Structure 1
Amino acid sequence: MNEINKTLYIPLYGKAKVSKMGIILNDKTAETIWDENAVSLGRKSKSKWLAYFMAMRARVFDDWVRHMLSENSDAIVIHIGCGLDSRVSRIGPVNTMWYDMDFPEVITERKKFYAETAHYRMLSGNAADPMWLTQIPAGEAAVIVMEGVSMYLAPKELAGLFEMLEERFPSLCLLMDVYTGLGANLTRFKNPIHEVGVTKAYGIDDPAVPLGTSGIRYVREHSMTPSELVAELKGFEGFFFKTLFAGKFAKKLYRLYEYQYGY
């Protein structure tokens, strides 16, 4: 497994840890996978503060997907860079066609824990080469999740992906987290991704940058640390987390952007 793929164990650990605590995110699948297949992670990767953040970010993405499906009942869901995430199980849309995509070696590992069904498929591909999208029938409305992916794509690669998405789907909504330019620069000095060998990250300061020549438009920014979720952390932990991850400085490093096309 290459250096980027190893990063999938960082959010898996965080979600499992927080789920066991009974706060923020209910993810029994993450608990089971981690308990049975734990890998060695560095101290920063196993920080409880990072675990809280990973679980909170996942919950925000989950809630957004639920909301978009409530408004677009015929849409398909595409999770780009799914890793070992169990979002399809956490949300559980019975009749929604759901596609999880990641590197071939990640999908091979994922298939040890998840089974395809008539409404669920796992696709091998690389977000930097959007030809994998041809495995999905064109012409459907799409709800697209990109969690922890954009920072590994060069600007031209990200723009190419957006252009291909527009070409394939008559309407879409997309949510993705990004590093800012400052956030990407600071990863050179202190970031848990270094503990699994990742050394290059990209930042976005203008949310219009990923759009390239596509007609996809930027809609709004979302909070990855909503106050109602932060409130589930009590006492000093709540205060410290809010200061570290939900304050003004955190926003200078990391953002969450929504895009739409055809709506």
Structure 2
Amino acid sequence: MVPIRLTEARETLLVTLYGRALDARAAHPVLGDTMAAEAVDAIDFDFRRTHLTPRTAPTVAVRAKFLDGWVREFLREHDGEATVLHLGAGLDSRVWRIDPGPGVTWFDVDFPEVIEIRRALFPERPGYRMIGVSVTDDDWLAQIPTGRPTLAIAEGLSMYLTEEQGLTLLRRITDRFNGGTTIAFDAFNRLAIRTQRTNPAVRMSGATLHWSVDHPRELVRDVPGLRLRDAVDALTAPGAEQLPRGTRVVSSLLRPFPAVRHMSRYLRYER
């Protein structure tokens, strides 16, 4: 069994891993990430602490599937010749779900202790590299080659950063890479940050959420060179019909209220 010694925000990766595993074991999975189920079986951790159930697991799987779609779209747009930076990769097996061709160089980036667990759980593959570093560190981007289309993708990361950390990271990416760069991530608004204790990942880990993005176009102002391509409400995005029934009912009742409608969004920017 692979031991787990993580704290605070880093432990939240176990919640999303378990959500994907529960989905994979469902009769009709949303994502079907069998590697997540295998990883859960190999980890020495009491996943009952996550408070996730087969009924609520689609919340995790739907988000992952949507962002997978943006990764596939980016690779199609660039004929499978690109670099992918998976920021705050956690224990996500996205690179195997996408299964990019030989023209793609893929980097999974996360804290050293997370990468250590990844190495114990997941195999190597051609064109794939793991970098053990905080995404907010100054110099790790120097390891990434330039001169080709680059996608930076992050799931469940932005809200754990401070606003300063988030904006600095976006500026570093846009400064490092020229045209042909896409940055895609999910973000919470101020209401989601204020009600964070309703989030099972936050409750389990004791982590704190910080950064809210209420107006996606403000990042265009704050990060020179960015252009907003998409801002999609998670509650009405393609695939949202597979969210838990309770979530769908509540969201339909509260959808007229913008603060609720925009609590969680998928954002895609281009450079």
Q: Same fold (TM over 0.5)?
A: yes
Q: Per-residue deviation at 1:155?
A: 1.3
Whether the 8 Å contact between 1:77 and 1:97 is mirrored in structure 2 is yes
Task: Kindly provide the CA deviation profile for residues 78-100 of structure 1, in whole angstroms up to 9, marking residues without a partner as x.
Answer: 11011010110011012111111
Q: Which residue of 1 aligns with 2:239?
A: 229
Equivalent residue for 1:65, pick from 40, 61, 71:
71
- Aligned position for 2:189: 180
**Is the Cα–Cα contact under 8 Å of residues 24 and 31 in structure 2 kept in the other structure?**
yes
SS in 2 for 1:97: strand
- Selected match of 2:42 from 29, 36, 60: 36
Matched, 1:120 2:125: no
Count of residue pairs the alignment pairs up = 256
Instruction: Give the structure 2 partner of residue 204 of structure 1.
Output: 213
Within the alignment, does 1:166 sit opposite 2:174 as a pair?
Answer: yes
Q: Distance in 1 between matches of 2:230 and 2:54?
A: 29
**Corresponding residue for 2:82?**
75
User: What's the Cα RMSD here?
Assistant: 2.2
The alpha-carbon deviation at position 165 of structure 1 amounts to 0.7
Conserved? CA contact 2:68–2:98, under 8 Å: yes
SS in 1 for 2:139: helix
1:17 CA displacement: 0.4
Unaligned runs of 5+ in 2: 1-5
* Superposed counterparts of 1:6-155, under 5 Å: 6-21=11-26, 22-37=28-43, 39-41=45-47, 45-73=51-79, 74-95=81-102, 96-155=104-163
Unaligned runs of 5+ in 1: none
Q: After TM superposition, give the deviation of residue 42 of structure 1 in Å.
A: 5.6
Once residues 160 and 227 of structure 1 are traced to their aligned partners in structure 2, the CA distance between those partners, rounded to angstroms, is 28
Taking structure 2 as the reference length, the TM-score comes to 0.86
Q: Distance in 2 between matches of 1:43 and 1:117?
A: 32
Q: 1:15 to 1:244 in 2, by over 3 A?
A: farther
Q: Please, which moves more after superposition, 41-50 or 121-130?
A: 41-50
CA gap 1:91/1:213 in 2 versus in 1, 3 angstroms: closer
Does the 8 Å CA contact 1:179/1:203 hold for their aligned counterparts?
yes
CA displacement at 1:163 relative to structure 2: 1.1
Report the CA distance between 1:24 and its aligned residue.
0.9
SS in 2 for 1:78: strand
Report the Cα distance in structure 2 between the residues aligned to 1:48 and 1:165, rounded to whole angstroms.
Answer: 37
2:227 to 217, 229, 232: 217
1:13/1:254 CA distance change after superposition, 3 Å: same
